[in-house]
Amino acid sequence: MNQEKRRLIFERFQTQNPNPTTELNYNSHFELLIAVILSAQATDISVNKATDKLYPVANTPASIYALGVDGLTPYIKTIGLYNSKAENVINTCRLLLDRHEGQVPCDRVALEALPGVGRKTANVILNTAFGLPTMAVDTHIFRVSNRTKLAPGKTVLEVEKNLLKFVPKAFLLNAHHWLILHGRYTCLARKPKCQNCIIKDLCEFKDKE
């Protein structure tokens, strides 16, 4: 795919959705961090249902840490892998209190040192909370990047690097949100909605409907 096509793709995404953001509910950097940790292998809808009950009760590192694993678990038990996530969240709260004065660090190494935070989660925080032009490649972005030929790659890291290289700089800050939403609602895994796709004529997917 050439750069002119890439530019046109993101111009259309921007026209359709000028201010994209995550569909997770949050009101602070910390709330976003916890929501993203909980969202691994879970839907944003299921996470929002849990955090909508949790955050009015506890929404700081100190208050969630005070719940402990046993106190936190009832709030998140409807989310997949809730046992391990409860432990990760409590241990993350402890480290935030011990190492970062209760604040979410704006640093990849520090973020990835937190339990339950890998490269993708760190990229979400750096992008959504701190406004850095990172690329959090999930299954949706991986699929869209390869299917459209926007930034193909065999691994998540390869796709991430190619997106950072090929996405026009003017669109880098919001690109991760546009691609997730496109994969979530239009470029579906099993049956993409090509007839309703705003970039159908620019996409290089060979089996378009």
151 in Cβ contact with 163 (< 8 Å): yes
Q: Which among 120, 154, 169, 191 is annotated as catalytic?
A: 120
Question: What gap in Å lies between CA 106 and CA 103, rounded to an integer?
Answer: 9
d(CA 73, CA 75): 5
Check if 193 is active-site: no
Which residue's structure tokens are 């995404």? 13
H-state helical runs in 55-101: 61-76, 82-100
Distance CA 71, CA 58 (A): 11
Q: Which member of 70, 107, 138, 191 is catalytic? A: 138
Catalytic annotation present for 201: no
- Rounded to 5 degrees, what angle do the CA atoms 75, 34, 159 make? 130
Active site residues: 120, 138
